[in-house]
């Protein structure tokens, strides 16, 4: 059993409209709706999970779509960009698709010898597609318009924007077991050797940057992956020993979570692989029904009536 941090588990962001968010990620990006549930702390709000066919950790992007919350602002103390791996020869297809569908898209750039196509979702969330040579994942999700030869292969990386990277880098290297791989200007790349995908964290140092503000179009937290609860508890002790505060274990139905704020201000989570997304619906039906945390089942009718309409057909 691997006792390391296994790269990224999931990333959670905020949206302004549930319907618009669902349409963009399932229809435009071609991700699978892996789980449709509600926010544990606010059952009047959906919690969407998008990923590959199996909901593999390292492919999962989740959203709290708070209706009408308004735009946030990327900045210091936040995860400011999500990177997805795509097949090396697919960027032309993606650029043409984005032009056709009116997706806001930037110019292609080179970063650490990889080609990057930046774009944003309808709320302005910053995402990039990176052309890589990584092996194709067996659980790639395919739709009528996004075929296997261009489908996302899970996360490539996440970028954190910080006033000073030193203390955050120390958490990545000394606690999580990452190593510094390279530097380009004020961007520092860290990677874990424990996994081949979803393994990169970029730290962007902006000493004079503006503090970010969480609302629509920003990332709420970044979750790192461990195999099970025993390993999770080992990392909890390491984090406490480093002088940081961390929550106790919280049951999120599909994984167990612990949260702490790293020194640069970004909210980190450590999440387990177990029990996984098939614990309450079979693989073939993932994301097809509204699943509620047990404490809210008695209020299902009221909750369903209050949630925004969502046509998932």
pLDDT for the residue numbered 284:
96
Tens digits of residue pLDDT in 77-118: 999 999 999 998 999 999 999 999 999 999 999 999 999 999
**In this model, does residue 17 exceed pLDDT 80?**
yes
Distance of CA 165 to the CA centre of its chain: 21
Tens digits of residue pLDDT in 221-277: 999 999 999 999 999 999 999 999 999 999 999 999 999 999 999 999 999 999 999
Query: Rounded distance, CA 176 to CA 239, Å?
Result: 9
pLDDT for the residue numbered 312:
63
Report the mean per-residue pLDDT for the chain.
Answer: 95
Domains of the chain: 8-306 (3.10.180.10)
pLDDT band at 135 (very low <50, low <70, confident <90, very high): low
Give kind and range of the element (H or E) at residue 166. helix 166-170
Token digits of residue 280 = 């309450």
C-alpha distances in angstroms, 73 versus 14, 47, 167, 216?
A: 11, 21, 23, 8
Query: Rounded distance, CA 190 to CA 200, Å?
Result: 6
How many other C-beta atoms lie within 10 A of the C-beta of residue 189? 19
Tens digits of residue pLDDT in 36-52: 999 999 999 999 999 99
Contact 94, 129 (CB under 8 A): yes
Kindly tell me the burial class for residue 209, based on how many C-beta atoms sit within 10 Å of its own C-beta (0-12, 13-18, 19 or more). Answer: middle
Give this prediction's pTM. 0.96
Q: Half-sphere exposure (CA, 13 Å, Cβ side) for 131?
A: 17
User: Secondary structure of the chain: what % helix, strand, coil (to 5)?
Assistant: 20, 40, 40
Token digits of residue 118 = 């930046």
Average confidence (pLDDT) over 170-183: 97
pLDDT for the residue numbered 132:
83
């Amino acid at each position: 059993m691997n006792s390391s941090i296994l790269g990224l588990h999931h990333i959670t962001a905020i949206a302004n409209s549930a319907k618009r968010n669902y349409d963009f990620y399932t229809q435009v990006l071609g991700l699978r709706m892996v789980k449709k549930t509600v926010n544990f702390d606010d059952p009047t709000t959906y919690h969407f999970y998008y990923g590959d066919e199996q909901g593999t950790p390292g492919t999962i992007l989740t959203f709290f779509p708070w209706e009408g919350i308004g735009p946030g602002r990327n900045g210091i103390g936040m995860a400011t960009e999500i990177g997805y791996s795509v097949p090396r020869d697919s960027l032309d297809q993606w650029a043409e698709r984005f032009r056709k569908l009116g997706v806001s898209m930037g110019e292609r750039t080179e970063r650490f010898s990889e080609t990057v196509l930046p774009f944003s979702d309808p709320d302005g969330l910053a995402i990039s597609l990176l052309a890589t040579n990584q092996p194709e994942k067996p659980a790639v999700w395919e739709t009528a318009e996004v075929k296997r030869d261009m489908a996302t292969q899970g996360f490539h990386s996440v970028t954190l924007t910080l006033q000073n990277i030193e203390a955050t880098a120390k958490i990545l290297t000394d606690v999580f077991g990452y190593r510094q791989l390279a530097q380009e200007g004020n961007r520092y790349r860290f990677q874990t050797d424990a996994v081949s995908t979803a393994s990169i964290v970029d730290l962007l140092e902006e000493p004079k940057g503006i503090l970010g503000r969480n609302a629509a179009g920003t990332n709420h937290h970044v979750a790192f992956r461990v195999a099970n609860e025993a390993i999770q508890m080992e990392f909890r002790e390491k984090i406490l020993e480093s002088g940081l505060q961390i929550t106790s274990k919280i049951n999120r139905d599909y994984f167990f979570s612990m949260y702490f704020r790293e020194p640069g201000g970004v909210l980190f989570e450590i999440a387990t692989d177990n029990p996984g997304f098939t614990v309450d619906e079979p693989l073939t039906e993932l994301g097809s029904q509204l699943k509620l945390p047990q404490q809210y089942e008695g209020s299902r009718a009221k909750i369903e009536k209050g949630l925004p309409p969502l046509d998932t057909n």
